[in-house]
Structure 1
């Protein structure tokens, strides 16, 4: 039986994002999410989590969105905010100790909110870049937490057998806008077979309702709303619920 974790990133981004995640969990097949400790919707997300004890919540380590929690991390900043993603998409140099302290502060804030994290991943996958991998490995070992395994040194931490990065495609109506360039039915048929055959899988998605914060802050908006509906109403969602070869799970189950 394949254990399948369906994880929506960006919990805590804003109230609209939070409500989209909660609806996909309560009414659909979402099982897990990861929480951004530095974003405006954090307190709202933490309150929602208290009402949903079985929702898996990890830490969405953040380096490219909003402001850091700490003030003495100048190598991570551009002005008052984190550096943009483009800084990390080329050869870059930051202070590794500053990154460790900032990400540790983000994890600690989640614990202080009364949430026991299930795992670690990162916004824009920044834990996969260069020497940032050493930092996430050190933090994973410190807190004894699994990590999203989409990086070179994943063998040094606990992770799922497989990570599925293309599920955002289900929110796109035009195949030309998808990552796989496959018709949806073709993509989902192949994914379903993989889920049945693989010991454990994390499916990454991004569910949300649109609010002003999301519109102003992200270039990835409308697909998120479609993903909420898909996880609740699609034939794929119904199939996962009834397939005896698939167990919907969280990182606590692997």
Structure 2
């Protein structure tokens, strides 16, 4: 297909040298301090999308925001881990339905390695589908899917589930570098994504500043050196108050990222650089417009 030789930005109608940017706020729904950072980031900052942790106790606050802001660009942050030491959550399906996904206390595994060691693929897929369905049932018009802690992107058998969900629900995905995936033995996954017509950004920035004090210099340099095509930047904007500091080891970095991406200085930098800002909704529209088959979910 001709589209295979074009970047996603070109397929969206941008010039070949255009720099197009999605800034995604991960972990919406984790806790109130996280939710307030995400909501303010979407309303006052340069964030153009967010993804929701359906498994978390503060999911309902995120869902209420989605219902009250139907044009917000919100996806599902597919989750098989509960990474914090003292703040936990379990599967949507419950521990008895998916026993391989939980530890002895009924919480999702803390690390990706533990998921790979213990989880059954059929139970993982069932849980992830239920997370998407829960989002729909709460009135969230999901624009995209991505993977909490990268669990679905780091091993081919999990990436196959990720790809299948994108195809079944006709939703775009967060994707790592295609070149990197090819060298990591995931060329078959790329072929499957293309065969399904799954739309993804061209580039992904998943590492953040090495230290809080380097936040401004790190992100500023990155924004000035964006490559042509659609780039997704992910971070976790939040307010580092007592709630967040009690559970998240990176609470101060989360607030530093929030401050950076809600500043007038950053907005001006993006404009001065001529970077075009979009959300995942445009990628979803492209994917569904180019698809020969309707969404199996019957939504959107």
- Cα distance in 2 between the residues matched to 1:187 and 1:207: 13
Task: Say yes or no: does 1:193 pair with 2:225.
Answer: yes
Contact preservation (8 Å) 2:101, 2:118: no
- Cα distance in 2 between the residues matched to 1:244 and 1:213: 37
Task: Answer with 1 or 2: which has the greater Rg.
Answer: 2
- Cα distance in 2 between the residues matched to 1:95 and 1:142: 20
Please state which structure has a larger fraction of its residues in strand.
1
Q: For residues 18 and 53 of structure 1, do their structure 2 counterparts lie closer, same or farther at Cα, with a shift above 3 Å needed? A: same
1:136 corresponds in structure 2 to 162
TM-score, structure 2 normalization = 0.74
C-alpha RMSD over aligned residues: 2.3
1:163 corresponds in structure 2 to 204
The size of the alignment, in residue pairs, is 241
1:135 CA drift (Å): 1.0
2:265 corresponds in structure 1 to 235
Task: Say yes or no: does 1:92 pair with 2:121.
Answer: no
- Kindly indicate whether structure 1 or structure 2 has the higher relative contact order, using CA contacts under 8 Å at least 6 residues apart: 1
Contact preservation (8 Å) 1:2, 1:199: yes
1:181 corresponds in structure 2 to none
Correspondence list, 1:211-222, <5 A? 211=241, 213-222=243-252
Contact preservation (8 Å) 2:66, 2:139: no
- Equivalent of 1:32 in 49, 54, 58: 49
Q: Which stretches in structure 2 are left out of the alignment for 5+ residues?
A: 1-17, 83-88, 284-300
Q: Which stretches in structure 1 are left out of the alignment for 5+ residues?
A: 179-183
- Equivalent of 1:22 in 12, 31, 39: 39
2:62 corresponds in structure 1 to 45
Q: For 1:150, what is the secondary structure of its paired residue?
A: coil
Q: For 2:209, what is the secondary structure of its paired residue?
A: helix
Q: For 2:262, what is the secondary structure of its paired residue?
A: helix
TM-score, structure 1 normalization = 0.86
1:55 CA drift (Å): 2.3
